[in-house]
Structure 1
Amino acid sequence: MDIVVSLDCGIAKIKAIAFTVQGRIIACAEVVNAYTVSKGGMVEQNPALTWKKVVFVFHELIQKIPNLSSRLLVITVTGQRDGTWLIDKRGVPIGNALLHLDTRSESMLQNLVNRNIHVNIHSLTGSRINAGSQSIQMLWFKKYAKSLLSRAHTVFHCKEWVYFKLTTERGCDVSEACSTFGNFKTRSYETEIFKMLGLTAYRNIIPRIISGEREYYPLSIAAARTLGLKSGIPVVLGYVDLACLAIGLGGFHTKDVHSCSVIEPSGVHMKVYPNHSSLSRGGGNVIKSPSGHTVLLPYKQSVLRFQAHNAATLNFDWIASVLTGGVVAIYRNQSLFKAIDVHDFLIDIDKDILRTEPVNLMYHPYIDPIGESGLINDKYAQAQWIGLTSDLTYLNLLRSVYEGVSYAARHSYETLGTTPKHIYFTGSGGALTSFRKIFASVLNARLLTTSHQEPTALGAALIGCLALGVYSNLDEACKKVVDPYVSNEDPYGSPDPTLRTHYSNMFKLYKEAITTSKPLWKKLHTLSS
């Protein structure tokens, strides 16, 4: 048996990726995932449909690897954080699941914040609660749908639901459990959190903690029959997707603190600590502020801390669509209409942006209509330019947008402790050489990249290998499997030293402008409502 399959249950896609134990991709199958958005902030997913999609990707994978069943060493499941999936005693879902994007419990969250309970919870979990947290969503059920909560035998997250369908085992991954109801230092549930939330009566529906690097359960007979595999294949409940991504990018090391940035529609910035005791070294008491999140890693007392901002490449798509929309209008007026792809447009002018010098133009990248639920945590936050003049060009505007997203990253790292000297960098934003250069320069950090196409799935695969004893520990696994893919030779991944002073001065003004703008954003919202 020489194949490891990682099952990544994301919001947008469900993917099954087959690897060798050395990390080489053999085959991949994926399907678009589905969820519904309704009034009142409701964002839901159908658990039964999610399982059907899992079955579909396995059938697709078997088409590509006909002898998969006999070669399969282990299946590891990872996926999205947060959300609430209620399951009854028979294992049947109780209605649709609430995703982490669901904000109907916003009033419950605000009540806890007003009473400073969020601070006490953060001191234990190391993670800021939000409307998508399972604990807060359970408060919503308690108040508005108590009958559903009373019927629940178990409350899952997405990947735990899929793991249950694969194995019939009811459990919760340790990284997910401790960021919601646990203590990141003890890696166990914290009774005090249930008391603070008023959820003690529902403690019994929270499943036991499973540490995927140490234990696994066999693929059930029923699941094996459905998937087209043989029963008994080991199945591992992996850590949350961000933990797997940090591992697969190369961010885990047993010495020193390392950093990772993900630039997709949203931005995520992580610092990986070899031991939770090092959280306060060289970066202040970063765990005492009720901001950011702490996620456990599958190695001794190692953890990662992360901050996120709602919009990263979402800003790129917006400004490109505005600019190309004007061009399309001109073509249409001249009867020369042709479609312009915004991504092609950004690639075409990539080098032109690099030839444009930075100016005193500041952009705040809060373009998401729901505001900013991450770093500055302000639902009224809006994107804005400060410093517009008539002599600026569209290239100046684009460069300022790239700089604004980079300032948001620097702001995130600042709240996590210190700004890093090296950053493991990934995401669709990295396709733009100009953005990579600007990002490196704003943060004054060298970018390291991986040539591996599926770093999240790779990280999950390694956790499965640890459970089966293929590697003795995560350090050994990363050195043998992950590190060979990592490179620091990107010519656009080094900071421009001549811009260091300019960007430092602009970053100070960037933060000052946020403070000044907050009351104005709220007033603008009041006017529009």
Structure 2
Amino acid sequence: MYIGIDVGTSTVKAAAFDSDGRELAVEARPVALALHGGHVEQDMEEVYAAVVGVLDALTARIAEPVELAGLTGQGDGVWLVDAAGRPVRPAASWMDGRAHELLDQWLADGTFETVFRRTGSAMFPGCPGPLLAWFDRYEPAALDAAATALYCKDMVFRRLTGAPATTDVSDASMPFLDPRTRTYDNRVVELLGLTHRRGLLAPIGDPIATAEAREGLPPGTRLANGPYDLPSCALGAGVTAPGDGLLIVGTCLASLVATTDLDLKGEPAGLYISTDRPGHWLRAMPAMVGTAALDWVLTTTGVGHEEVDALLAETPPGANGVRVLPYFAPSGERAPFVEPRLRAELTGVCLESTKADLVRATCEGIGFAARHCLQAAGLTGSLAVCGGGTRSPAWMRLLADVLGRPLRVVEGEVGARGAVLAAAERFGAALDAAAWTEPTAVVEPDAARAAYYANLYEDHLARLAQARDRTRA
């Protein structure tokens, strides 16, 4: 048995696989997000307890010995811990918006662009640079009490194993890592006013560094602290060849394209995620909101998730003129552009508009945002898709039409699967990656609908440009 652990933003999961990559069982626990005044935080003890809980439940269900385990989880944010790995304060989530004024300042004075040109990272309010600078200015006692500013999976790994506090090159990619040297860029640290806090940055561990679990898994289980959830999903979906891409239709709408070309001259947006293979990156455009936008619309209209497919069938492409710009995050948008104050817009609604129109317009808007991100990331090859959105066949057909290309649908716990594959490579275990990442379906676009959506996409871009202009006014 092989176990993958995925510490998500709202759900912690552990999945068991056999040696051929078949998913044997999954255990999941919800974890809470505390939202107040633009601050989005998580209780680290609750998150860690959920990890131990899902592992205890999973290993109790399956009697097979555990060959190895891999760990992944949400990226960005700031998870401050003391020398023993214990929380100093609640974690600031990647969804946090408290640092938007600092980011506005850096956008205006050129710091934002300078950092991108050096690291390939377009900062957003919920990434460690702005958050650490905010804490340094407004809550310095928390930084004084901390030994390390970790990322989510690193906090869990530290607690599960007792290993020294480290991170990997994928999590370190935003925003301090020089992607060429794979070390922290001290000039970037200086530009963000954090030189005196340099010691808080987690040491970047050797990609093959592993440890033995102390709880939640059988004693002595080999556990690898793998890449964070975006690159883990790319591994789990088989996206490793340059030009191939992955769309994650989850809480975050993430577009990733594998590349060996490091181009820091384009529009500052997204980031280059370093991988375990030097000279190989993922060009990432992780838009802030994916399924969370649809969740908000469903909750507001009193519609259940099980009704989505039927509602999509009730209204035609174009949603009878209803349009949604799906920028619902409190911290604005970060890909394929950065606008901390951008907000969602719903237009074209009249008394004749239906819930089905609102749902379809939201799904279409998310699709247009994905198309924008994938184009900016340089997609030229095949496209895989994973995440909670794949559970809706109607939405997958709509996405194929909006994107105008076939979708390799990879279902199940793709991030956990990728964490296992990363662990297997680090431990030298022989697993057939092609078999592990075989798509469950391929959804082809309808030519007529794809042509219709190509025109509607241009309208989406025009409306987005107007909204960005209003944001800056």
Normalised to the residue count of structure 1, the TM-score between the two structures is 0.80
Corresponding residue number in structure 1 for 2:118: 124
Amino acid at match of 2:227: Y
Corresponding residue number in structure 2 for 1:292: 270
Corresponding residue number in structure 1 for 2:344: 382
Corresponding residue number in structure 2 for 1:241: 229
Is the 8 Å Cα contact of residues 94 and 148 (structure 1) preserved in structure 2? yes
Corresponding residue number in structure 2 for 1:481: 436
Note the 1:159-238 alignment, pairs <5 A: 159-168=153-162, 169-212=164-207, 214-219=208-213, 224=214, 226-227=215-216, 229-231=218-220, 233-238=221-226
How far is 1:350 from its partner?
A: 4.2
Change (3 A) 1:343 1:95: closer
How far is 1:500 from its partner?
A: 4.6
How far is 1:431 from its partner?
A: 3.5
Confirm or deny that 1:441 pairs with 2:401.
yes
Note the 1:503-522 alignment, pairs <5 A: 503-520=453-470
How far is 1:182 from its partner?
A: 0.7
Amino acid at match of 2:347: W
Corresponding residue number in structure 2 for 1:336: none
Normalised to the residue count of structure 2, the TM-score between the two structures is 0.89
**Partners of 1:345 and 1:244 in 2: CA distance:** 31
> SS where residue 161 of structure 1 aligns?
helix
> SS where residue 172 of structure 1 aligns?
coil
**Partners of 2:404 and 2:296 in 1: CA distance:** 26
Confirm or deny that 1:306 pairs with 2:284.
yes
**Partners of 1:318 and 1:28 in 2: CA distance:** 26
Is the 8 Å Cα contact of residues 5 and 15 (structure 2) preserved in structure 1? yes
Corresponding residue number in structure 2 for 1:403: 364
Corresponding residue number in structure 2 for 1:417: 378
Corresponding residue number in structure 2 for 1:5: 3
1:235-258 CA deviation, whole Å, 9 max, x = no partner? 2111010101111112222xx411
How far is 1:151 from its partner?
A: 2.5
**Partners of 2:355 and 2:131 in 1: CA distance:** 44
How far is 1:109 from its partner?
A: 1.9
Change (3 A) 1:107 1:87: same
Is the 8 Å Cα contact of residues 309 and 372 (structure 1) preserved in structure 2? no
Change (3 A) 1:363 1:479: same
> SS where residue 486 of structure 1 aligns?
coil
* Segment of structure 1 superposing worse, 310-319 or 237-246: 310-319
Corresponding residue number in structure 2 for 1:108: 102
**Partners of 1:21 and 1:210 in 2: CA distance:** 27
Query: Looking at CA atoms only, which structure, 1 or 2, has the larger radius of gyration?
Result: 1
Amino acid at match of 1:262: I
Corresponding residue number in structure 1 for 2:249: 263
**Partners of 1:467 and 1:369 in 2: CA distance:** 36
How far is 1:470 from its partner?
A: 0.9
1:417-470 CA deviation, whole Å, 9 max, x = no partner? 35x46321223333444432332222221111124x111100000111111111
**Partners of 2:222 and 2:319 in 1: CA distance:** 57
How far is 1:164 from its partner?
A: 0.9
How far is 1:79 from its partner?
A: 0.5
Q: Which runs of 5+ in 1 are unaligned?
A: 326-340, 524-529
**1:496 maps to which of 443, 446, 466:** 446
CA RMSD in angstroms comes to: 2.8
How far is 1:149 from its partner?
A: 1.2
Corresponding residue number in structure 2 for 1:338: none
Amino acid at match of 1:51: Y
> SS where residue 204 of structure 2 aligns?
strand
> SS where residue 307 of structure 1 aligns?
strand
Change (3 A) 1:24 1:395: closer
Is the 8 Å Cα contact of residues 4 and 464 (structure 1) preserved in structure 2? no
How far is 1:227 from its partner?
A: 3.5
> SS where residue 67 of structure 2 aligns?
strand
Confirm or deny that 1:458 pairs with 2:417.
yes
Change (3 A) 1:116 1:319: same
* Residue-pair matches, total: 470
**Partners of 1:51 and 1:312 in 2: CA distance:** 25
Confirm or deny that 1:97 pairs with 2:58.
no
How far is 1:352 from its partner?
A: 4.2
**Partners of 1:394 and 1:137 in 2: CA distance:** 38
> SS where residue 445 of structure 1 aligns?
coil
> SS where residue 269 of structure 2 aligns?
coil
Corresponding residue number in structure 1 for 2:60: 63
Is the 8 Å Cα contact of residues 89 and 153 (structure 1) preserved in structure 2? yes
> SS where residue 18 of structure 1 aligns?
strand
Note the 1:12-31 alignment, pairs <5 A: 12-31=10-29
Is the 8 Å Cα contact of residues 100 and 340 (structure 2) preserved in structure 1? no
Q: Which runs of 5+ in 2 are unaligned?
A: none
Q: Share of identical aligned residues, percent?
A: 22
How far is 1:358 from its partner?
A: 4.8
How far is 1:495 from its partner?
A: 2.1
Amino acid at match of 1:180: P
Is the 8 Å Cα contact of residues 88 and 153 (structure 1) preserved in structure 2? yes
Change (3 A) 1:450 1:380: closer
How far is 1:215 from its partner?
A: 2.3
**Partners of 1:403 and 1:477 in 2: CA distance:** 36
> SS where residue 326 of structure 2 aligns?
coil
**Partners of 2:216 and 2:240 in 1: CA distance:** 33
Change (3 A) 1:53 1:371: closer
Is the 8 Å Cα contact of residues 58 and 227 (structure 1) preserved in structure 2? yes
Confirm or deny that 1:429 pairs with 2:427.
no
